[in-house]
A and B are shown apart, each in its own frame.
Chain A
Amino acid sequence: MSFISPYSCLLRATRSLQLATASRTLSSSSRFRIVADAKFPVVPSSNDKLQPLTQSQRPVESPVKADGNSSVETPVKEWANRLTDINFNTRLPRSVQALYLRPLRRKAEYGLPVCDLQLRSYSVRNLEFFADFAIRAAYYLKLPVSGPVPLPKITERWTFIRSNFVHKKSKENFERITTRRLIQIKDGNPQAVQAWLAFLRKHAFYGIGMKANVWEYESLDVGKNMDDTLPAVEKNLEPHLSRFGRQQTETSPTQKPLSDFLGNERLSLKKGPLVKVRSV
């Protein structure tokens, strides 16, 4: 109990207050119960560490007194008013409000497709949710987006026999339906697209697969650029390419020349008509 923060205590106090205000119209017996409820957060105040908590709990004590005495009810009303104010006279932050509205979109200037993201899932709800999330994320990264386009469903069906002998003719069908959505990014900065994809991967939703096709646009002299980048690419590829080549184990025949590998002396000793080796 010593770890209760003052804030949570306050919350609890206000909750009990709400109860108290709501039960004004109820009978006196129910009011007693609420009084006991309102006392509850006072209990941990006996601890030394929680001394400042008693400050926040003061409004709790007032409804306790208010039961007997109606003149002290004014602070209660204030609290209640404040709570209703929060509900009616304030608005949510814009970013939160936007969640209740359709996702915002940037307008594409040129309409060049840069990235195709395909989402797949077996459940439509999760898929819709994540597609919505992806579109909102793209808006905040200033990427113009089109979609989500519902692609055709993939239906796989399997039929099994229910039993293997007498009841062989009775069958059972199973299916798995994959729903897909396509989200296309248009004329976005490639780095922003990468950031968007990384963000989606970081916040990947359960049961949703993602597949992205990314296109890059080059200037007209592509060949020259590729030639310039070749040494760097080769350097990157070297560790991969070095794995190809001859096997280095004992069983491998490729270490020796082919004639050795295939039968060694017999090939060289017996000279038949067909043995004229061209170039091995």
Chain B
Amino acid sequence: MSQFRSKKLDIGGFINARVIRDHTKRKVFEQYEPDRQALRYIIRNTSLPQRVRAQAQLQLSTMHAYTRPTQIKNRCVAGGIARSVFRNFRLARYQFRMQALAGELPGVRKASW
């Protein structure tokens, strides 16, 4: 959402609308994580009155979608692709192949066994 998006570009690498969106979501989640955890704690704490807990549930559900960790999706650093992105290199398969064949990934070789 635009209210969360930074006015200036604050990431490097491959830039794409979707990449920027994902980056914004990560930042928002980081910012609101303590609040979410506090609410989650209240909801689960059985020693608190039921009313308070229900209130906390409502609060949590009304928080913005961008504060949810499930909104975050790993994206390829070099191509912006969201599918088949490998955690070790943060690259999707096509970029990985290209870079590996060019010898840009340290230690990665064509395997045959």
Interface residues of A (CB under 8 A from B): 122-123, 156-158, 160-162, 164, 172-178, 207, 247, 251-254, 258-259, 262-263, 267, 272, 274-278, 280
Contact = CB atoms under 8 A, between A and B. Distances in A.
Contacts of A160: 93, 96-97
A251 B49 contact: no
Given A262-B56, A275-B51, A122 B86 contact: no
Given A164-B94, A174-B109, A251-B35, 4 more contacts: A173-B112, A175-B108, A247-B34, A254-B34
A278 B109 contact: no
Contacts of A275: 49, 51
Interface of B is mostly: helix
Contacts of B93: 160-161
B82 to A, nearest CB: 14
Interface residues of B, number: 31
Contact of A174 (B49, B56, B59, B110): B110
B110 A274 contact: no
Contacts, number: 74
29 contacts: A122-B107, A156-B88, A158-B86, A161-B93, A173-B110, A173-B111, A174-B96, A174-B100, A174-B110, A174-B111, A175-B108, A175-B109, A175-B111, A176-B107, A251-B31, A251-B32, A253-B35, A253-B38, A254-B38, A258-B52, A262-B42, A262-B52, A263-B55, A263-B59, A267-B55, A274-B51, A275-B51, A277-B49, A278-B47
Interface of B: 31-32, 34-35, 38, 42, 47-52, 55-56, 59, 86, 88, 93-94, 96-97, 100, 105-113
A207 B52 CA distance: 56
A162 B110 CA distance: 13
A37 to B, nearest CB: 42
Contacts of B38: 253-254
Nearest to A270: B51
Contact of B55 (A207, A262, A278): A262
Q: Most chain-B CB neighbours within 10 Å: which of A157, A262, A280?
A: A262
A164 B47 CA distance: 55
A276 B49 contact: yes
Contacts of A276: 49
Of all A-B residue pairs in the complex, the 5 with the closest CB atoms, nearest first, are A122-B107, A175-B111, A173-B111, A176-B107, A262-B55
A272 B56 CA distance: 17
Nearest to B111: A175
A234 B55 CA distance: 40
A139 B49 CA distance: 68
Nearest to A279: B47
B73 to A, nearest CB: 19
